[in-house]
Amino acid sequence: MDKKITLLGNGSWSSALAKILTDNGHKVQWWMRSKEAIDAISLTAHNPHYLTSVKYDTTLLHLHHDICEAIEAGDLIIIGIPSAFVAEALTPCSLNVFQNKIVLSAIKGILPGKNVLLNEYLQEQFDVNIEHYGCISGPCHAEEVAAEKLSYLTFASADIEVAQMAADLFTNHYLQTVVSNDVYGVQYAAVLKNIYALGAGIAHGLDYGDNFLSVYITNCFSELQQFMDVISTQTRHHYNTSAYLGDLLVTCYSLHSRNRTFGNFIGRGYTANAARLELGMVAEGYVAARGIYEICEKIHYALPIAGSIYAILWQNKAAIEEFKKIEGLCS
């Protein structure tokens, strides 16, 4: 029996996921906060704010403004709401709203203030069993999905059959998929790569060149692996970090990367607030930098590169001075 699919969120990544699913002929219950966007898609078949070139088959879309109603209509719930807004968006819903449903995370962040991954939040607040949870990650920019350029995604779940089921829904001629049971590794790697990509943008804004950037990214990956080793002892989950190097690379190098773009503004002298206004979209790495710093404080572990990026963003430390420290860490 086909799964009834609900997609929550109206950003560029959610819009890309909606394109993939409808291109594959799947019907989608799509919730978005913006009534304006709902009206525009219904009328023109185009999202007025994100991936505006994409034309949707609206016969496959059922657009919702009520999030609880949208979740109720689906068997597979894909959450693409930015991590900073997930808890607020789900506030109107009952505690059993996800009962007998599979949840697939399409966010690449940790919930601010709570400093937990989405599966941890859903388990605590809505009693979602990790066996009914999966996540999506990988080197896959929404803009390239819109252009149908070949991309790859990893689908991870503690239940490999859940991961395979989700992957099968998305696989097509421009989207290849890999399945994994590394739920924590996929999510933490996605959080950290956004922080490091933001740092790559800062470096570019400070006029560092590609030679330094290649060494910087190599050291970021080493730091990421070391963090995974430490966290694995906390969660008792095995990690496979070598699978996530591609996501780190593309987010650090690509001009499509909003985290890199955000960091570039910082390196050029913008304040964090000014950079947020200039970008006009959510850069997950900005919030994640504080969350990861606080997690490290709690477990008494230091991430020197991520810590310097946190200091620039949240402690108003001079970017040039923090990157002099990072220079000394790189080898």
Q: For this structure, is 193 an active site residue?
A: yes
What rounded mean pLDDT belongs to the chain?
92
Looking at residue 235, its pLDDT comes to 61
pLDDT in tens, 183-216: 888 899 999 999 999 999 999 999 999 999 999 9
Q: Quick one: fold of 5-181?
A: Rossmann fold (3.40.50)
To the question of domain 191-329 being in CATH 3.40.190.290, the answer is: no
| Residue 25 Cα to chain centre, angstroms | 25
Which residues are 105's β-sheet partners? 79, 135
The domain spans of the chain are 5-181, 191-329
| 246 pLDDT tier (thresholds 50, 70, 90) | confident
What percent of the chain stands above pLDDT 90? 76
Q: Give the amino acid at 259.
A: N
The catalytically annotated residue of 108, 114, 193, 325 is 193
Output the six-digit token pair for 161. 């059959």
Confidence band for 230, pLDDT divided at 50, 70 and 90? confident
Phi and psi at 77, nearest 5°, equal -105, 115
**Which positions ≥6 away from 1 have C-beta within 8 Å?**
none
Q: What is the pTM of this model?
A: 0.91
d(CA 47, CA 41): 5
**Arithmetic mean of pLDDT, 55-72:** 97
What is the SS3 assignment for 99? coil
Instruction: Report the pLDDT value the prediction gives residue 166, as an integer from 0 to 100.
Output: 96
Determine the Cα–Cα distance for residues 231 and 301; give it in Å rounded to an integer. 10
By the 10 Å C-beta count (0-12 exposed, 13-18 middle, 19+ buried), 246 is classed as middle
